[in-house]
Chains A and B, each alone.
Chain A
Amino acid sequence: MAQYRRIGVTNNNDVAIVSFNDKKILDEASIQELGAELFGLVEQHNMGDILLNFTNVEFLSSAALGKLITLDRKVKASKGRMKMCNIRPEIFEVFQITKLNKVFDIRKDEAEAMTAFS
């Protein structure tokens, strides 16, 4: 498995479960690095199904949203599925305002998301 700085990755029934190491995803350099690590899951490690678990995330900027949108497009292009879970209310509001809750498949928790994958 690759070495990551911005994310943690575990594998559960061929679903890559991704956690975030940063509580606040806002620093431009960190976001670039985060994007590269996330895209690598699809482009280098051929992960089909990806679950992003936001338990640890307290804040994210619009630049981070951009990386999530690009990742979602890459996953869909490679015929994979991407879901998100454990999003706190303030961040969910950001998704609602930008209507990204229509683009992303957002689930309550890991259990619900894993059921949706199966």
Chain B
Amino acid sequence: MTEPKSSQNSKSDKPAWQKSIDLPSERGASRLVMDELLDNLGEHGWASADIFSIHLAAEEAIVNAIVHGNKLDKGKKVHVVCFVSSTVARIEITDEGDGFDPTDVPDCTQDDRLEVPNGRGVMLIHNFMTRVEYNEKGNHVLMEKVRDA
């Protein structure tokens, strides 16, 4: 039997983790993937502040897909694809709803909206991730965080 080659930098040796899962459109369904995602970020050496950011972005995007995209319709699924390596974390989320225009979301930091209790999820996602892209319909989001060197 061949021993795995040892390395000074164990981070880069860890194979990337990928998972693809369909979540039901019900509140709390994000937990079906979240714990595993967070565990894998930790195992790939991500810092706790980055794990917090990715956790928040993923949670907000999945809740948006379930509640605003699929409107809690039990007949619809939210498709989630995760990829985690020691340098990149990528999450793609697709719902079966009509989509939305991310440029239409009002700016929650304007003085007259500061005290409105909702509408902060999309802004947090953009601030915490390196790259955020929506498809034209607006029912698919790709979020990527690149680890700082």
Interchain nearest-CB distance for A42 vs B (Å): 15
- Residues on A with beta carbons closer than 8 Å to the beta carbon of B128: 97
Given A62-B121, A98-B123, are A69 and B60 neighbors across the interface (CB < 8 Å)?
Answer: no
Contact B124 A62, beta carbon cutoff 8 Å: yes
Most A CB atoms within 10 A — which of B28, B116, B117, B128? B117
Looking at the complex, which one of B28, B49, B52, B109 makes contact with A98 (CB distance below 8 Å)? B109
For the complex, is A79 an interface residue (Cβ under 8 Å from B)? no
B interface, size bucket? 20 to 34
Looking at the complex, which one of B27, B28, B114, B120 makes contact with A62 (CB distance below 8 Å)? B120
For the complex, is A100 an interface residue (Cβ under 8 Å from B)? yes
Tell me what chain B mostly uses at the interface: helix, strand, loop, or mixed.
helix
Looking at the complex, which one of A27, A66, A90, A103 makes contact with B118 (CB distance below 8 Å)? A66
For the complex, is B65 an interface residue (Cβ under 8 Å from A)? no
Contact A66 B117, beta carbon cutoff 8 Å: yes
Chain A, residue nearest B114 (CB)? A103
- Residues on A with beta carbons closer than 8 Å to the beta carbon of B48: 90
Contact A62 B52, beta carbon cutoff 8 Å: no
Contact A103 B120, beta carbon cutoff 8 Å: no
- Residues on B with beta carbons closer than 8 Å to the beta carbon of A73: 115
Which residues in window 86-105 of A have CB below 8 A to B? 89-90, 94, 97-100, 102-103
What are the interface flags for B104-143 relative to A under an 8 Å C-beta threshold, 1 for contact and 0 otherwise? 0000110000111110110110011000000000000000
For the complex, is A33 an interface residue (Cβ under 8 Å from B)? no
- Residues on A with beta carbons closer than 8 Å to the beta carbon of B120: 62, 65-66, 98
- Residues on B with beta carbons closer than 8 Å to the beta carbon of A28: 27-28, 63
- Residues on B with beta carbons closer than 8 Å to the beta carbon of A65: 117, 120
Given A27-B28, A29-B28, A62-B60, are A94 and B124 neighbors across the interface (CB < 8 Å)?
Answer: yes
For the complex, is B81 an interface residue (Cβ under 8 Å from A)? no
Contact B124 A98, beta carbon cutoff 8 Å: yes
For the complex, is A61 an interface residue (Cβ under 8 Å from B)? yes
Question: Which A residues contact B (CB, under 8 angstroms)?
Answer: 26-29, 58-59, 61-63, 65-67, 69-70, 72-73, 89-90, 94, 97-100, 102-103
A-B contact sample (8 more), CB < 8 A, given A61-B59, A94-B56:
A61-B63, A65-B117, A90-B53, A97-B128, A98-B120, A98-B124, A99-B109, A103-B115
